[in-house]
Chains A and B, each alone.
Chain A
């Protein structure tokens, strides 16, 4: 237990010290609020059922954070640690391998929540955005989404030879999703044919689930999203466990 707390504490410090990771997780979504807020403001719009552009951006950019961490941070850090021999060094101690994974997940959860708090604070200060859902349900959605995205990230790390390759695979998977899933830009702005593509993108289900729960829709309306994310977690998590390499 002590090793789990120490490792998580250290990992969070290291995450914040890594300027690129910290930028994309913490600063980038907030920056988007500043840019798109300046462009579109937050006036109620019929496109968003009377919500403003910044209102719907809150859950959308939260999904963006989850995607960035799961599909970029996780594979790059994990493959990098393996390539560098950090995982080897950890393995040469009595620490249980599960401790490492759990600590990594906790670190990423902490960074996600930190990123979301920052995002919401800026959104509230500038545009008085509101959270209208149940905070525990939102937390559940964030954890489930984080696990699902991270399981994809670990699989990328397991099949990539090193950090560079992991980064390329992560970007190839993440960037289309960023634009087409509703996480990076509102899905309503996409043409219907493109919206159909989004049905095949994992991050779409994160964005839909968060958006629904953010504005207080009941969980039963989003069982499809929950089921899809659980399936992703089981399939990719299982494959990652099978192919994970410590060196």
Chain B
């Protein structure tokens, strides 16, 4: 099966800035594919080239084998778009907006059913300007789904939302995929990418610096894991350094932090503590995450 989206050596410049500088990847049917990276990494430019809203300066993009810029209307019929920066007339009502956008497409789903699915049925007569951030974002997702799209593009879907609204957005994204659409999303929240995406492309300075499933990216990092606890008894020297896989034992105030890697690292440490009769409290483990992957690839933390 040919890929749903194909991007080959994509280049897009704004003046002297190479916003996207040779990006290549494909997205398969039914995937949730994420692009992560800090603001200005080239995520939005890439997504907008795929949506046919921008013309590439070099390389090529295709949606189902079609050039989205040249055949923009044909592609628009098959995709759904949630833009990072866009708006509706402030006095338009939720229901009116959905009916209006439904009329733009050759085929569309029932607006009322979609409102209900988005939990907006009670807001049908509310002006768009009166919606909360989360409701607004739900409406924009509804607009993106009105034509029963085969691919849905979500650009910074949860930016600016409170944690609760963000979590409910995540459920929605998974639901969209379960209903049969391929999802392409961008985010600068690493946790979001880790939770949602089957595969993640990490972007920095207009280039893809890594591309794989979140698990594989973290695993390949070979990064150490951490375990920490408060020892309740025992001597200063717990004898953990000698354990295979343990690389460092530190003390911060009363807390002991053990870093290391390898198979069953955590259970080895816990067993060793039990064997030597050391009681402990508030045991915590820290797994490396995509944040650490980004840090190790770029030497910088993702800024919010």
Chain A residues engaging chain B, CB cutoff 8 angstroms: 2-3, 5-7, 10, 13-14, 17-18, 81, 84-86, 88-89, 91-96
Contacts and interface: CB of A to CB of B under 8 A. Distances in A.
Given A13-B96, A14-B91, A14-B92, A89 B105 contact: no
Interface of B is mostly: loop
A88 B86 contact: yes
Residue among A2, A13, A84, A93 with most chain B CB within 10 A: A93
In the complex, the 3 A-B pairs of residues with the closest C-beta atoms, listed nearest first: A6-B103, A85-B86, A89-B86
A204 B297 CA distance: 68
B53 interface: yes
Interface string B89-115: 111100010011101111000000000
B81 interface: yes
B292 interface: no
Contacts of B273: none
B89 A85 contact: no
Residue among A14, A84, A88, A92 with most chain B CB within 10 A: A92
Interface residues of B, number: 25
A84 B103 contact: no
B88 interface: yes
Interface of B: 51, 53, 73-74, 76-77, 81, 83, 85-92, 96, 99-101, 103-106, 143
A14 B91 CA distance: 6
Given A85-B87, A86-B87, A92-B53, 11 more contacts: A5-B103, A6-B100, A7-B103, A10-B92, A14-B91, A17-B91, A92-B51, A92-B81, A94-B74, A94-B77, A94-B105
Given A7-B103, A14-B91, A93 B76 contact: yes
Contacts of B85: 85, 88
B104 A94 contact: yes
A13 to B, nearest CB: 7
A92 B87 CA distance: 12
A2 B83 contact: no
Contact of A89 (B83, B90, B91, B96): B83
Contact of A85 (B74, B77, B83): B83
A85 B90 CA distance: 11
B28 to A, nearest CB: 23
Contact of B89 (A3, A81, A94): A81
A93 B83 contact: no
28 contacts: A3-B104, A5-B103, A7-B103, A10-B92, A13-B96, A18-B91, A81-B89, A84-B87, A85-B85, A85-B86, A86-B86, A86-B89, A89-B86, A89-B88, A89-B143, A91-B53, A92-B76, A92-B81, A92-B86, A93-B81, A93-B104, A93-B105, A94-B73, A94-B74, A94-B77, A94-B105, A94-B106, A96-B73
